Amino acid sequence: MTQNTPAPTDRTRLRRMHERGQYDADSIHSILDATPICTVAYVIDGKPYATPTIQWREGNHVYWHGSSASRMLKASAGHEVCLNVTLTDGFVMARSAMHHSVNYRSAMLFGTAHKVEDPDEKAARLKAFVEGLFPGRWDMLRPPTTQEMKATTVLGMEIDEAAAKVRTGPPGDDEADYALPIWAGVLPIRSEFLPPDPDPRNLAGVKMPDHIRNFQFG
């Protein structure tokens, strides 16, 4: 996927509510960057599976990781997968059951997952993952051991076939229904972080770092 907004493919082109479709890199990237939670769909022995995991974007690539024993990662490496990110922004309350809806932002990516094999590149990708969430944390941590790195698999995928679908705004009722004495509108949804909960086994005098105290995402 380039910044020139390529035409949607047969898999990514919206067939319904096509006005909600967005195919440009900025729209796709902004949704990926707004939450680390994603779902990866893949096939094992001809049967479909979908696994929630954490993703992060670097340029025009998206990455995810997990245990080297993970069936999901083993089945995905070298094969086509579908990665989805969805954010729910509000419940849309209409004057009829038919027109109730949800305000949301979603991105769906298709591609062939590749395994990050080079140890130095794997370490760089994992550092980028941690630093993307908590700037300054990687260098203050105990370095990962050789065994820990061996036990971790990192997969990546170029973002070259993707689409975003977005709904915003109030309900779209039938014109005649606007005369009904029924409350309608949007119930907004917001995620927020609560105060940090320290580990009771923290050493005495260890201060909370700024990347925890002042954490913000997106």
Q: Are strands 21-22 and 37-44 parallel, antiparallel or unpaired?
A: unpaired
28 in a domain, yes or no? yes
Report how far apart, in Å, the C-alpha atoms of 2 and of each of 56, 81, 126, 156, 160 are: 18, 20, 24, 17, 7
> Percentage of residues in the chain with pLDDT exceeding 70?
93
Residue numbers of the domain that contains 124? 18-213
pLDDT tops 80 at residue 20 = no
7 in a domain, yes or no? no
Provide φ and ψ at 19, rounded to 5°: -70, -15
pLDDT of residue 202: 97
Name the pLDDT band for 10 (thresholds 50, 70, 90): confident
Name the pLDDT band for 18 (thresholds 50, 70, 90): low
103 in a domain, yes or no? yes
8 in a domain, yes or no? no
How confident is the model over 100-122, as pLDDT tens digits?
999 999 999 999 999 999 999 99
pLDDT of residue 65: 96
Provide the b/e sequence for 29-47 (b: ≥16 CB within 10 Å). Answer: bbbbeebbebebbbeeeee
5 in a domain, yes or no? no
Overall domain count for the chain: 1
Give the CATH number of the domain where residue 186 resides: 2.30.110.10
How confident is the model over 186-214, as pLDDT tens digits?
999 998 889 999 999 999 999 999 999 98
Q: Which whole number is the average pLDDT over 59-82?
A: 95
Q: How many residues does the chain have?
A: 218
12 in a domain, yes or no? no
pLDDT of residue 41: 96
Structure tokens at 149: 């790195």
Residues with Cβ < 8 Å from 181, sequence gap 6 or more? none
How confident is the model over 119-165, as pLDDT tens digits?
999 999 999 999 999 999 999 999 999 999 999 999 999 998 999 99
> Percentage of residues in the chain with pLDDT exceeding 90?
85
Average per-residue pLDDT in the chain?
A: 92
**What is the residue type of 187?**
L
104 in a domain, yes or no? yes
Alpha carbons 55 and 33: distance in angstroms, whole number? 9
How confident is the model over 44-55, as pLDDT tens digits?
999 999 999 999
pLDDT tops 90 at residue 36 = yes
More confident residue, 15 or 132: 132
CA angle 3, 84, 12 (to 5 degrees): 55
Please state the pTM of the whole predicted model: 0.90
pLDDT of residue 66: 95
149 in a domain, yes or no? yes
Residues with Cβ < 8 Å from 153, sequence gap 6 or more? 65, 66, 67, 68, 70, 73, 77, 115
